[in-house]
Every structure is written in structure tokens, then in C-alpha cells.
Structure 1
């Protein structure tokens, strides 16, 4: 064998040894013992990702329960004020529990935050729609409150996600941007009191539509020579309970009879105590809407300046 052939064989053998020692070499296959741990790590992380189902996180399950309770309260809203109020109140109280669950289980997600906000807005809007039908003369006020609530929170959420980043919470507000919003969102106690008493005010109005002759003089009373138009409380034309149900002793007719005997003192107290907080909550909505609008405009101006430089 010539010296050249021996040198070529030695070079090939040395290259093979280096390939065994260096798993990252191009065109080489790493030894099984050195690639198994990385595969195991990859498989375990993939399994962990597959196991996580955001839709079944604890705070989101509470959110689904809130949606169910809201629909149940809407079902009982026209004729069963007690049942509706209980279901609606429980749904509102669970709003604080889902946030606690998200922090406790470390399951804070963007989907959960949006689900929580959408549930809040839709729940309040449905109650205000009922109040609009109970007192048609004040419908424009309730419609304005719906618009303000929806627009304010949508603008704030959109501005936070588009300007602050998709990972930033809408409750994280810089004090330099808005002192009012910082105080509102920074303290969980302040946030809970404002939201709870705001809902309590509308619940009080809802109960007053069944119990206060001062606000609803024709409450559940038929009007002579008037065409029946709707069984909703507060409507100026109401058919007699016996014409609403097949039997005057049915559950619905009995509930109508009990509804007419609700004591209006407690609803008046709830409404009076919560009224200042409700007014403050609407002020916060206005500030939130203006602040979000300005933040979005800042982003527009910055984008236009950047496009001019190009």
C-alpha cells in the first residue's frame, strides 16, 4: 500500500471520529446516547403544551357560569323580580372570584380578560334594555348609558392591546396617563366597590319598577279602554293577570300577584346609597373613553411621522 493511500485512510478515520464526537457536524448523525435527552425534553414540553387548554382554565369556567346565570336572570326578568335579582347578583359577585382564581392558579389569559369584560358589558346592557321598556320616557338615558359603557371599555381594551402590547392588561394603567384611571384600576377594593354599587343601582331601579307606584303609577294595573300591548311592568297598558295565563292560579300569575306587593323601601335604599357611586362610575367611563381616544391618536400621529421619514 502506498504512503498516499495510508494517509487518505488515516484522514478518513480521523474524520469519522470527529463526527462521532461532534453531533452538530454537517451531514453526520449524532449518537443515540447524545440525542435522546433533547428528544425527551422536546416530547415532554410538547405534551405539556397539549395538556393546557385555556378554555378550561378555572377563571374561564367561572366566566361560563356567569354567562349561564346571566341568561337565567334574563329568563326570569320580566315576571320574577326576586329570582332574577338573586341570579343577577350572584353573577356579578362571581366577577370578583374569577380574578382571584386567575391569580391563585396563575391562569391569567387575554381570552379570560376579554370574556370577563364582554360578560360585564352584555349583562349590564340587558338590564338597561329592560329598564328602557319599563320607563319608555327615560329610554334615551338608559340607551346613552349602554353606549357609553360599551364604547368606553371597547376603546380602552383596543387601545391597550394595540398601543401597549398584546400581553399588557387593560387594568394596568400608568398614573402619568390618567390619575383617575390609575386610582380606579390600581386598587382592587375601589374597583370592586365601584362595579358592585353600579350594578346595585340598576338592580334597585329594576326592583322599583315592580314596587314603586311613585315611579310606575300603573304598575301591573289594567288601564280602562286601552288595548293590551305588553305584560312588561311600567308599561301604561297591562292586561289583567287572568288574561295572561291559562289559569289565574298558575305559577306566573301568583308571581305577578306577589310582585305587586314588594316593599319599595329596600329598593329605594339600595338605589339611594349606590347612586353617587354609579355617577362616579359613569365619570370614569367618560375619562376612559377620552384617554383611550387620545392614546390611539398618539399612535396614529407617530405612524404618520414614521411614514413621512421613509
Structure 2
């Protein structure tokens, strides 16, 4: 008779030996090509944040490259068959955080519009969190957040299934905010500090870009962490025609993207409420007063 190799617990009941994890591979998910591209996006985004207060051209270039790599990681995932849930979450979190950082800067640069920028940040985070959570709870672990049926929402189905619609919407949405950021350093309409004045007069001469009216001694310090960094960058202004053109071109797409965010938030809320009603019915709570 074979010896019983089961180990008894303290209460005398036999305890099964620990099973080895044979239900997963030994692949290093963190080193998949799409995820490496995701890490590069984060590095570029951090570099753009460093240059954001003082070097608008460098910041815009690095930020734009980080956003464009968002399309490359998806291509790499399909080419190398390395689509992962970690990569999908990393991609979404990077998108949300980079956009939020840019909008926070716009809030500080233009405090009069800070509530609008704060509202856009809240809508972006809330809609994507609700959508991801609803997909996980109602659709299951294996369900992708991009699998939205047309019966649930036609606009979201188009947004997530048509790669060109998704790319153009995300790219021009970011382009709109980048253009607003550049206008902070170029347009006297957006930034009144750029208006030149006539000697000691307080009224500006014209709407043409000019040096700040009353340069402060602190503006001579070029540290991007100083309070005068943005004022100094504005003194080295750029032509405002290109940012204005980018704003006009991308504004309709930005509005469309915010509309999709609103629909996404509403549809995710309805989906979660649908699950709550089913759960309450199964528990018999719907008959209680």
C-alpha cells in the first residue's frame, strides 16, 4: 500500500500538496514590444512636462511624439501577437495622465478658464473609468473595452471599431490642446501680457505680439521651476497664426471627442444599473418595500 503523502492540518484534516502554477507561460509581459513602446511614451511625456513652462516648441514636439506612438504600440501588438490586458491598461492610463497634465498646465496659464479645463479632466477620467469598470463587471475578464455593440451605442461602436475614426479623434483632440498651449506663448488675445504698451500708459498699442509690458527682474532667471519661467518664455514669443489655424481645424473633432466621452459615461452608467437590477431581482430585493 502506497504511503499517504498528504500532510495533515492542525485539525486533523488532510491537506492537499500545493499545486504548481501550470496555467500560465513564463513570458515576461513587461518586456513585450508594445509595452516597451508604452514606457517610451511615458519617458517622452515626462520630458515634455519638464520643458512645458519654458520651451513650448520642445515640449510640443516631445508631447506630439508621445501621442503618435499611441498608434504604433497597437500595430506592434497585432504584428507580434502581444496584445495584453496590462498593455491596454498601460496605454489608457498613459493617455489619461498626459492629457490631464497638459490641461492642468492650461488651467494655471489661464486661470479664468480653469473650471472648463478641470471639467474636461473629470469627464475624461470618469468616462473611461466607468466604461472599463462596467466592461469588467458586466462583460467579464476576457472582454475588451473596445468591444461595444452597435445595439448599445452606435457612436461608441463606430469610435472603437473604426481605427481611423479612433486615431483621428484622439490625435486631433490632443492637437487642439497643444495648439491652446502654444497660444499661451504667442497670442496677445489669449495672453494679454504679450501686448506692448506706450511708455507708462496702461493701454496696449495694438493686438500685435510684443514684449511683456513690465518685465520683472525675476524674468532674467531661466529656471523652468521659477515663477517667472512662463513670463520669460512669453517674451520669446512665436508667430500665432499657426496655433490659431490648428485650433480652428481641430476644434470640431475635440467637441466630438468630448461628446463621445459623455456618451461613454452615460452608457456605462446604464450598463451598471442594468446589472444592479438583475442582481436585485435574483436576490428578491425588487419586491421589498
Equivalent in 118, 131, 143 of residue 156 of structure 1: 131
Q: Does 1:167 align with 2:147?
A: no
Distance 2:81 2:284 in 1: 44
CA distance in 2, matches of 1:239, 1:75: 24
Give per-residue Cα distances to partners, 1:189-243, cap 9 Å, x unaligned. Answer: 0000000000000000000000001111113989x9xxxxxxxxxxx99853664
Q: In structure 2, what is the equivalent of residue 308 of structure 1?
A: 284
Runs of 5+ consecutive residues of structure 2 not aligned to the other structure: 4-19, 201-211
Q: Is the 8 A contact 2:104 2:118 kept in 1?
A: yes
| Residues 257, 79 of structure 1: alpha-carbon distance in 2 compared, 3 angstrom cutoff | closer
Separation in structure 1 between the aligned mates of residue 187 and residue 125 of structure 2, nearest angstrom: 29
Greater helix proportion = 1
2:194 match: secondary structure: coil
Distance 1:237 1:158 in 2: 51
More divergent stretch after superposition (198-207 vs 106-115): 106-115
Per-residue CA distance 1:128-178 (angstroms, 9 max, x = gap): 001111111100000000000000001001111111011111111011100
Q: How many residues align?
A: 257
The structure with the larger Rg is 1
CA distance in 2, matches of 1:241, 1:150: 40
The residue aligned with 1:268 is: 244
Instruction: Give the 3-state SS of the residue equivalent to 1:211 in structure 2.
Output: coil
CA RMSD, 1 decimal: 3.3
Q: Distance in 2 between matches of 1:286 and 1:78?
A: 31
Equivalent residues of 2:55, 2:233 under 8 A apart: no
Residue of structure 1 equivalent to 2:56:
81
CA 257–185 in structure 1, closer or farther in 2 if over 3 Å, else same: closer
Alpha carbons of 1:286 and 1:57: their partners in 2 closer, same or farther (altered >3 Å)?
same
**Match of residue 49 from structure 1:** 25
Alignment partners' CA distance in 2, 1:215 and 1:302: 51
2:183 is the counterpart of 1:213: no
Q: Is the 8 A contact 2:220 2:232 kept in 1?
A: no
Change (3 A) 1:237 1:258: closer
TM-score of the two chains, using structure 1 as the length reference? 0.75
Q: Is the 8 A contact 1:219 1:260 kept in 2?
A: no
- What SS does the corresponding residue of 1:70 show, helix, strand or coil? helix
| 1:297 alignment counterpart | 273
Q: TM-score, normalised by structure 2?
A: 0.80
